[in-house]
Amino acid sequence: MTVFQFIRSNYLANASSMGETHQWREQVLSAILFFVLTLGGATAIPSIVLAISEHLWSVVVVDVFALAWVATIWRLPFLSYQQRAWNFLLFLYLLGVWFLIKVGLTGLIYLLAFPVLTSLLLDIRLSMQALVLASLSLLVVGYVSDANLHVYGFDSHPVMQLVVVTINFAFIAAVMSISCGVLLQRLDSSLEHQRVITASLQQGQSSLKATNEELRLIVAAVARLNDIVMIIKADVDNANKHHLKIVFVNDAFVRQTGFQSEAVIDKSPVFLQGPRTQVDELDRLNQALIACESVHIELICYTHDGSEFWMEADVVPLADEQGVFSHWVATGRDISDRKKAQEHIHRLAYFDVLTGLPNRRLLLDRMSILLATARRSNMISAVLFIDLDHFKYINDARGHAVGDALLNLVAHRLSGSLREVDTVAHIGGDEFVVLLCHISNDVVAGAHAAQAVAEKIRYSISQFFDINGLQYSTTCSIGVTLLPRDNQNSHDLLREADTAMYRAKSSGRNQIAFYETGMQTEVEQRLTMERELGEAISGGHLHMYIQAQVDRLGKPVGGEMLMRWIHPERGFISPALFIPVAEESGMILRLGDWVLEQGCLAQLQLQAAGWDIPLSVNVSPKQFRQSDFVNKVRRVLKYTGASPTRLIFEVTEGLLIDNLQDTIARMLELTTLGIRFSIDDFGTGYSSLAYLKRLPLYELKIDKSFVQDTPNDANGTAIVQSILSMASHLGLKVVAEGVETKEQAEFLIANGCASMQGFLFARPMPLDKWLLLQQQIAQPGKESSRVV
């Protein structure tokens, strides 16, 4: 191994950890000491042997001392590098001086090595100082010791010989020392630069490793994201058209679409589009691609098997190092569930759950739009309000499932009877509304067109409906209003059509009625009556009258308590007007409670006057169906002290068809108290022997419409005779209402009617007046007036 190979191997072994120039110098010094000791020992031993044989003891001493000194410098670990270097340089200097004195020219070699190695082992500044010292030593020692330094041409001038040798020595030593020093400085600078580069490379390698790791994690994360990720390359041809091709898709894309990644790479993403993909969203996407802008889109995409799904995507452009947008990154997610939820919420907000038709909210919106377009175009449109007649009977008799099925069938028929531009809405219960859009540009022609559509609907609804193999029939009442009119809004339209529909119902149902201005006046009067009726209840404007029920001799055997309203300004108001208002508004419950209390008080007044006759009070179906009705009756009886055995509750046949079991149970509770029941207006409702047998009834009241037809009308006469015969067989008392002529009374008496009530015998009057009249009748000579 050469010295340079040794130095290189030691450097390569330690430079990576030390990284300092002085490490080189330490290694060089160690190598020099090693080879000086090795080679010096190899040459010194023969020299020592030869010197001993020649008795040159000074040479022996110097050689031995020199070897020992070098060995000491090489092996003493406690010496620092500077101490070892200076020891070695001092050793060279002293050895050079000695050889200069003893040998002559040989000493020049050691003196030359002194500054050169100083430059190598220390630095160039100290090397120059060592050069000065070596040159002066050469000049002084050479002169003193008369060294044999022969220079051609200067033999006669020994001093000049020393000067010439010294100058040449200094020159060569300076060249070598400076060269060595500069070389080491450059080497040091190169090493520093190399160290910086190495550190930079290490840092870059670490950064690259971290980047690669981060990239690996990102790729793994992107591949396993639940969101769809696509990277699309955009190429622009000479015609400035964009050509897109997919360069990356993640696992979520494969899972969602069913397309394998290898099958879509280098393909355009248009395969995700389909028949229902929104064109407007695609246009927005294309505009963003052209403008190199980010875009957020929501559109319908298609899977490999053709299934639809909603995808929400953010598409972002990516630029290369030159700032050219070359790729697009699209991140998307399946929002089908969200869209379904939004659609469900929208349907709940704007469509009827049962029929799927638009509800009231959407209907009003479309009415507003229709009004606006009708005003601009001067086209006549119409609103039809449709209400099924007696739908409640079907619903109650057959259950809500059949009722709902019927409503769905009605909705289907209505939709099939209209144009696509028209609207059918279900606004609740059995009520439907139809919007007929732009049916004419003339009011009269528009009315005829609306009438024709209404007749078509009425006929369609009147046809039988098949539900679970059974046939059901119903009719409808239709109210029609036209638009546009001045200051008309959507709520006005609905109110007008509703008002016209109620006019159709009041005209006998299964009718068509057009809205007229006077109808609104009727509605307003109805509202006014409702408000004033509430005031009358609390203001004491309601009164209870009695109308006597007499036997065949004209003697009072009972009485019916009738409500009368005497308005402070308009006077007497017929019950036929305010009772329906009370029933529709719900005030019938307050009236019923008041009537029950007044009936009990009237009974006490009659008993006090010596009249122990039963009193009949009317009980409405709504009042009877109240869950606490029986308890209310108990409280009133207890509060007033009236006798329940002298109370008769008159109910209509309509009460009996609704939840008959509960009705019977409630009637039995009341009969245990002593209260008796009478069927009012018998024969005008759903008369049935079945419920007559089951109900705890006391009497039947023949409606006055049948009584007025007797005895001249054969049909009316037959009906009355049938009722009297049936009641006789069932053991029920019969009261004939509306008896106004002597012929009617005689016919009833002849056919076994025990009680009669009507204007022939007495008109309804306040109880005080009736009692006073009875006192006058009871006076001597006037008893015959009681007899028919």
Q: Of the ranges 46-50, 94-98, 241-245, 375-379, which one carries the lowest mean pLDDT score? A: 46-50
Give yes or no for residue 296 having a pLDDT over 80: yes
Predicted local confidence at residue 286, as pLDDT: 85
Contact in structure between 66 and 44 (CB atoms under 8 Å):
yes
pLDDT-based confidence at 548, cuts 50/70/90? very high
Identify the pLDDT of residue 779: 64
483's enclosing H/E stretch is: strand 475-483
Are the CB atoms for 425 and 360 separated by under 8 Å? Answer: yes
pLDDT at site 118: 78
pLDDT of residue 153: 53
779 SS3 class: coil
Q: Which of 86-90, 212-216, 581-585, 597-601 has the highest mean pLDDT?
A: 597-601
Q: What is the pLDDT of residue 615?
A: 93
pLDDT at residue 623 above 50?
yes
Q: Is 50 exceeded by the pLDDT of residue 16?
A: no
Q: How far apart are CA 703 and CA 682, in angstroms?
A: 6
| pLDDT greater than 60 at residue 405 | yes
Other beta carbons within 10 angstroms of residue 421's beta carbon come to 9
Angle value at C-alpha 96, between 185 and 169, nearest 5 degrees: 60
Helix or strand or coil: residue 227?
coil
The CA distances from residue 116 to 163, 710, 712, 723, 753, in Å, are 21, 159, 162, 153, 160
Residue 85 near residue 93 (C-beta atoms within 8 A): no
- Please report the pLDDT score of residue 161 as a whole number: 67
Better pLDDT: 256 or 155: 256
Q: Is the pLDDT of residue 8 over 50?
A: no
Six-digit token string for 188 = 């040091």
pLDDT at residue 600 in the model: 92
Distance separating alpha carbons of residues 261 and 263, to the nearest angstrom: 5
Whether the per-residue pLDDT at 490 is higher than 60: the answer is yes
Number of Cβ atoms within 10 Å of the Cβ of 191: 19
Q: Where residue 519 falls among pLDDT bands split at 50, 70, 90?
A: low
SS3 per residue for 125-186: HHHHHHHHHHHHHHHHHHHHHCCCCCCCCCCCCHHHHHHHHHHHHHHHHHHHHHHHHHHHHH
Q: Are 313 and 230 in contact (CB under 8 A)?
A: no
Which pLDDT band, with edges at 50, 70 and 90, does 442 fall under? Answer: confident
Query: Would you state the pLDDT for residue 1?
Result: 45
pLDDT level of residue 116 (50, 70, 90 thresholds)? confident
pLDDT digits (tens, 9 = 90+) for 672-703: 999 999 988 787 655 556 677 778 888 888 88
* 171-175, 654-658, 730-734: range with lowest mean pLDDT: 654-658
Of residues 302 and 21, the one with the higher pLDDT is 302
Determine which helix (DSSP H) or strand (DSSP E) holds 426, and give its type and residue range. strand 423-428
What is the DSSP code string of 698-738?
Answer: -EEEE-HHHHTTTTT-HHHHHHHHHHHHHHHHHT-EEEE--
Nearest partner of 364 among 414, 433, 411, judged by Cα: 433
Render pLDDT for 316-338 as a digit per residue (tens, 0 to 9): 888 777 777 788 888 888 888 88
pLDDT of residue 132: 84
pLDDT of residue 689: 65
Cβ contact 282:299 at 8 Å:
yes
Phi, psi of 755, deg, nearest 5: -135, 145
pLDDT band at 54 (very low <50, low <70, confident <90, very high): low
Give the pLDDT mean for 118-126: 79
**Please, which contacts does 248-254 make with residues 24 or more away whose CB atoms are closer than 8 Å?**
250/222, 250/223, 250/224, 250/225, 251/223, 251/224, 251/225, 252/224, 252/225, 252/226, 252/227, 252/228, 253/228, 253/229
Q: Residue 20's pLDDT band (boundaries 50, 70, 90)?
A: low
pLDDT band at 12 (very low <50, low <70, confident <90, very high): very low
Of 270-274, 477-481, 568-572, 624-628, the least confident: 568-572
Q: What is the pLDDT of residue 41?
A: 66
What's the confidence (pLDDT) of residue 766? 92
Q: What is the mean pLDDT of the chain?
A: 81
Per-residue pLDDT at 687: 52
* Structure confidence by residue, pLDDT tens digits, 242-271: 678 888 888 888 888 888 988 888 888 888
- Crossing angle of the two packed helices 360-377 and 336-350, in degrees rounded to 10: 70
pLDDT digits (tens, 9 = 90+) for 187-243: 777 777 777 887 778 777 777 777 777 767 666 666 666 788 888 887 766 666 767
What confidence score (pLDDT) does residue 783 get? 43
pLDDT in tens, 124-148: 788 888 888 877 877 777 666 655 5
Report which secondary-structure segment, H or E, holds 39: helix 21-53
pTM: 0.46
Q: What is the mean pLDDT of residues 721-734?
A: 87
Query: Residue 677, class by beta-carbon neighbours within 10 Å (0-12 exposed, 13-18 middle, 19+ buried)?
Result: buried
> Would you state the pLDDT for residue 604?
92
Q: Which of 212-216, 318-322, 445-449, 596-600 has the highest mean pLDDT?
A: 596-600
Please compute the mean of the pLDDT values over residues 554-583 and round it to a whole number.
Answer: 86
- Does the structure show a pLDDT above 50 at 11? no
